[in-house]
Structure 1
Amino acid sequence: MILKTTAFALPVIAMAGFASAQEVNYTSIDGNYTNLSVSGEDANIFGLAGSIDYTNSGFVFNGGLSYTDFDGDIDVTVLSFRAGYEVSPDIIIFGGANFLDTEGFDETIYTLGAEASFGQFTAGLSFFQVDEDDADTFTAVYGSYRVSDELEVAALIETDGDDTITVLGADFDMGGTTVDATYTVDEDIYIFGVSGHYDFGNGFRAGGDYATFDGEVDFIAVSGGYEVSENMWVDLSVGRFDLDGEEVDTLGLEFTFETGGQTLLIDRAETVQARSLGVAGALLNTGLAFRR
């Protein structure tokens, strides 16, 4: 595991060093461990993720790298990159790619889009496609409204011409006190999640998570955290999945460092969706289910 962790950390450090000469807008590093226990059987999930967002002479760059180990049996690595250009102070065009690598399966997703800001409003249009023969092209129309410096709400409609997915989200951030919420619905299922932390001051905070997946799988957790350095938190959590009557207990330890804000709305929306779903959101962050 030490070798795997080192292999992950080196490119993240390299990206941060390169970006230090630019205007860095956002940096995040996350390390998490979760133990799942059901009927006396245990499984462990270990994850590392890093992301950086910076601008240089009208160009916008966002890069991310994540590694997830599922009980030593399955390793998933995701490399994501997005580059954009400010054609005017309020309009950005962008393109990117996401590369998923796991045992016996590799996937690439390409993205092309544009976003425009109008005061407190942001609107975007993006197209993405999996690098496979006869793969459908998905179209996403989305927008947000910044209610205040601390609160942003957003909506997205995504379709491939046959199926349509609607996503609603909200992000409230006031230092150590945060709330993220998401609601996703298509023709067959819905997902709702909310996650929050309350900062008591003196470096301590408490948190809670709730998520439901079509009413058949529910997750709830509580946590306590300590700010070991500015914007750097360590949180311990306990939780439980209810899978249609079968219970799975969780014990988690997470290290997070986050500062600044992501430039593109599409990146901010992905981050909010993952954080809103607790442990399941950490799995989404691997790119298996939601990474445009």
Structure 2
Amino acid sequence: MTRFAALSLTAGLLALSTAPALAEQTYLDMSASYTSSDLDGDTLDQYKGHVATELTFGKLTLSGELNGSQLSVDDSDIGVTDFRVLLGYDVTSAFTAFVGTNQTDLEGEKISNTLIGAEFGMNNYAFGFAYADLEIDNTSSDAWQIYADYNTDAYGAYASVVRIEDENFYLAGFERDTSLYDASLDYTSFEDVSLADLNASYYLRPDMRLNGTLGYYDIDNSNITNVGIGAGYQVADNVWLDLNASQLKGEGDTMNSVSLTLSTEIGAPRLRASERIYSFYDLYENLYIGDF
């Protein structure tokens, strides 16, 4: 993957946004970012791209997501690409069955899973379960997940349990959105790893905001903290440009980072499984902290 491949991924699913009139686009989320970090005199450059969209065709819901990341350290590069697709069918107005696939490439190592599941929705609540056949280098594993989700314009919350072979993953989160501020808290726990992140934005005016991040990570009994501040400006309708600085500090190591992110998000996914189903790319993002 070339240096700018992660950023170019943001164009990957744009064709879906120009689908025929018979399809209704209910969600679009895109971002591209560059992060420069300094770790004990070494420079780390990371490029990331993300596109997610959802289309509905009557009783059918199609969601797709494309992610890419390239991390460069001296002369070494670590590249990851990730593609996910979910297709849901409304059996009833409250019950949706879905199938999907997730393909990830980590420096030539292929990770894939095929899943089947169902989601029950009632008012602003959603409850779902999924079974996945996870394959890594021709070795298959069974994976299960159950989740609960609550979502309104002002509040959001979720809880989920993922089981891969004999290992359990626990995920939970809460968010609050107002015209004055946005805030979210996310927690992930598995094996000897516990990760907690608090993110918030305060709007000085509708097109200008201040950002803050606070993270606490317990990884194999080693404590890591992450503190960040920044600001954002709305350069076009629903398009934000954010500049943030952060410091990741562990036992004896400190990493200072500056990031620039261009992002947009319109609507909300109708099929909550598209956000709740845990993937290998999510795990990679979590473990990147541990590699610090």
- TM-score bin, normalised by smaller chain: 0.7 to 0.9
Secondary structure of the structure 2 residue equivalent to 1:114: strand
Shift of 1:3: 7.0
1:14 corresponds to which residue? 15
Counterpart selection for 1:125 from 121, 125, 129: 129
Give distance in 2, aligned partners of 1:250 and 1:6: 18
Secondary structure of the structure 2 residue equivalent to 1:15: helix
Shift of 1:151: 0.3
Give distance in 2, aligned partners of 1:236 and 1:6: 16
Secondary structure of the structure 1 residue equivalent to 2:19: helix
TM-score, normalised to structure 1, is 0.86
Shift of 1:104: 2.7
Higher fraction of strand: 2
Residue range with higher mean Cα deviation, 81-90 or 198-207: 198-207
Residue range with higher mean Cα deviation, 128-137 or 239-248: 128-137
Confirm whether residue 256 of structure 1 aligns to residue 253 of structure 2.
no
- The size of the alignment, in residue pairs, is 280
Confirm whether residue 111 of structure 1 aligns to residue 115 of structure 2.
yes
Shift of 1:202: 4.4
1:194 corresponds to which residue? 198
Could you report, residue by residue, the CA deviation over 1:2-41 in whole angstroms, capped at 9, with x for unpaired residues? Answer: 8736863553222222266511111011000000102222
2:63 corresponds to which residue? 62
CA gap 1:19/1:186 in 2 versus in 1, 3 angstroms: farther
Give distance in 2, aligned partners of 1:31 and 1:81: 20
Secondary structure of the structure 1 residue equivalent to 2:186: strand
CA gap 1:35/1:156 in 2 versus in 1, 3 angstroms: same
Confirm whether residue 174 of structure 1 aligns to residue 181 of structure 2.
no
Give distance in 1, aligned partners of 2:142 and 2:170: 17
Contact 1:19–1:54, Cα closer than 8 Å, also in 2: no
Q: Could you tell me which amino acid in structure 2 is paired with residue 141 of structure 1?
A: I
Confirm whether residue 139 of structure 1 aligns to residue 139 of structure 2.
no
2:245 corresponds to which residue? 238
1:207 corresponds to which residue? 211
Secondary structure of the structure 1 residue equivalent to 2:260: strand
Contact 1:36–1:250, Cα closer than 8 Å, also in 2: yes
Contact 2:34–2:261, Cα closer than 8 Å, also in 1: yes
2:230 corresponds to which residue? 223
Shift of 1:270: 6.3
Could you report, residue by residue, the CA deviation over 1:125-166 in whole angstroms, capped at 9, with x for unpaired residues? Answer: 1112212555321211111234x5310211112224623222
Give distance in 2, aligned partners of 1:181 and 1:270: 18
Counterparts of 1:148-159 in structure 2 under 5 Å?
148-159=152-163
CA gap 1:161/1:174 in 2 versus in 1, 3 angstroms: same
**Structure 1, unaligned runs of 5 or more:** 274-279
Contact 1:164–1:186, Cα closer than 8 Å, also in 2: yes
Q: Could you tell me which amino acid in structure 2 is paired with residue 11 of structure 1?
A: G
2:44 corresponds to which residue? 43
**Structure 2, unaligned runs of 5 or more:** none
Could you report, residue by residue, the CA deviation over 1:186-234 in whole angstroms, capped at 9, with x for unpaired residues? Answer: 3432111111111121411011111222162221111100001111100
Give distance in 1, aligned partners of 2:5 and 2:191: 40
Shift of 1:288: 8.8
Shift of 1:250: 0.4
Residue range with higher mean Cα deviation, 220-229 or 98-107: 98-107
Secondary structure of the structure 2 residue equivalent to 1:16: helix
1:277 corresponds to which residue? none
